[in-house]
């Protein structure tokens, strides 16, 4: 019931790996494809805000394992997300969609700072808003930021697009052949079972505040399908 009909306003979370098509850096062809899908949803009247990940550049936890200070490595991770933002902005503008990037770390030459009411105003004017720089705080993830931004700008849903994933499984499908894809699961159950679909902080924010989350892939037309309210992936209901 939650996902029938059209959304009015959504937060689309694109994991960093989506931008690189699995490799390090940004693949312009892939980003152009994402931009086309977002543009077509915008033209159909859906307000789209995007939260971008940065795992195609750096992940703080991985750099920490290689000897870096965690907080500094996390800042590198956050800066990586901004490059993804600029790539997406560019291809959205080529689609004729006005786009604003807002970052949680101030960098006035490339983006606005995060101002929630202003973000809402952009959306109302038919612009895509891209949120970069995560929360601006080490030890957080962009999944958590997606849930937080969705709550603050009053989005209907968080749409989580991940590379190489098509939903939530009952167990890890790479190691357990009996694993099946779930159509629906509650956020509290996903946390309890330790399912690695979104981090626990993101799931609990959604669960505690009545925000549904859809987890799906990044293949073919997955993004436009999710933006249009089609039943793909796994719906995580707040509970
Ligand atoms: N990060 C952070 N605080 C945030 C968001 C991100 O420190 O609020 C850092 C963290 O090091 C993380 C990296 O940025 O590993 C990239 O973000 P994330 O792993 O969430 O990207 P994704 O997995 O979606 O590609």
> In this predicted model, what pLDDT tens digit does every residue of 20-78 receive, in sequence order?
988 899 999 999 999 999 999 999 999 999 999 999 999 999 999 999 999 999 999 99
Asked if pLDDT for residue 191 goes beyond 60, the answer is yes
**Cα 114 to averaged position of ligand 1 atoms, centre (Å):** 17
Tens-place pLDDT, residues 81-93 = 999 999 999 999 9
Instruction: Give the pLDDT confidence score for residue 115 in this predicted structure.
Output: 98
Smallest CA separation from ligand 1 atom 6, residue: 141
Pocket test for ligand 1, best of 20, 52, 134, 200 (most atoms within 8 A of CB): 134
Question: What is residue 1's predicted lDDT score, i.e. its pLDDT?
Answer: 38
pLDDT per position as a tens digit, 192-226: 988 888 889 999 999 999 999 999 999 999 999 99
Mutating to test ligand 1, I would choose from 30, 81, 136, 142 the residue with most ligand atoms within 8 A of its C-beta, which is: 142
- The residue among 160, 208, 221, 172 whose CA lies nearest residue 14 is 160
Answer yes or no: is the C-beta of 20 below 6 A from any ligand 1 atom. Answer: no
Are the C-beta atoms of residues 103 and 82 closer than 8 Å to each other?
A: yes
Q: Is the CB of 11 under 6 A from ligand 1?
A: no
Buried b / exposed e across 54-87, counting CB within 10 Å, b at 16+? Answer: bbbbbbbeebeeeeeeeeebbbebbbbbbbbbeb
**pLDDT of amino acid 217:** 94
Q: Which of 81, 62, 89 is nearest to 73 (CA)?
A: 62
Residue 15 labeled ligand binder: yes
If you take atom 14 of ligand 1, which residue's CA is the nearest one?
77
Which of 15, 20, 34, 77 to probe ligand 1 with, by most ligand atoms within 8 A of CB? 77
Cβ(74) – ligand 1 distance below 6 Å? yes
Which residue from 54, 52, 53, 48 is spatially nearest to 119, judged by alpha carbons?
48
Radius of gyration of the chain (CA): 17
User: Which region holds residue 71: left if phi is over 0, alpha if psi is between -120 and 50, else beta?
Assistant: alpha
Backbone angles phi, psi at 51, to 5 degrees: -110, 125
Between CA 18 and CA 92 the distance in angstroms is 16
- Residue 142, ligand 1, Cβ within 6 A: yes
Atom of ligand 1 nearest to the CA of 16: 25
The C-alpha atoms of residue 44 and residue 67 are separated, in whole angstroms, by 48
C-beta of 134 in contact with ligand 1 (< 6 A): yes
Q: Is 53 in the pocket of ligand 1 (CB under 6 A)?
A: yes
Domains along the sequence of the chain with CATH: 9-166+198-222 (3.40.1160.10)
């Amino acid at each position: 019931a939650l996902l029938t009909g059209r959304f009015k306003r959504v937060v689309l979370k694109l994991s960093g790996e989506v931008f690189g098509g699995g490799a390090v850096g940004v693949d312009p062809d892939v980003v152009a494809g994402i931009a086309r899908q977002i543009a077509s949803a915008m033209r159909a009247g859906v307000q789209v805000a995007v939260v971008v990940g940065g795992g195609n550049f750096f992940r703080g936890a991985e750099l920490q394992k290689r000897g870096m200070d965690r907080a500094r490595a996390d800042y590198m991770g956050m800066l990586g997300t901004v490059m993804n933002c600029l790539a997406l902005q560019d291809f959205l503008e080529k689609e004729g969609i006005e786009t604003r990037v807002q970052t949680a770390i101030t960098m006035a030459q490339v983006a606005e700072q995060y101002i929630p009411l202003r973000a809402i105003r952009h959306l109302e004017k038919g612009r895509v808003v891209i949120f970069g720089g995560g929360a601006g705080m080490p030890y957080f993830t962009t999944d958590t930021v997606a849930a937080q931004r969705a709550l603050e700008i009053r989005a209907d849903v968080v749409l989580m697009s991940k590379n190489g994933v098509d939903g939530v499984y009952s167990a890890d499908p790479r190691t357990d052949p009996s694993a099946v894809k779930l159509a629906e699961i509650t956020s509290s159950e996903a946390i309890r079972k330790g399912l690695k679909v979104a981090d626990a902080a993101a799931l609990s924010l959604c669960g505690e505040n009545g925000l549904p989350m859809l987890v799906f892939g990044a293949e073919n037309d997955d993004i436009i399908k999710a933006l249009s309210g089609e039943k793909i992936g796994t719906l995580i209901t707040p509970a």
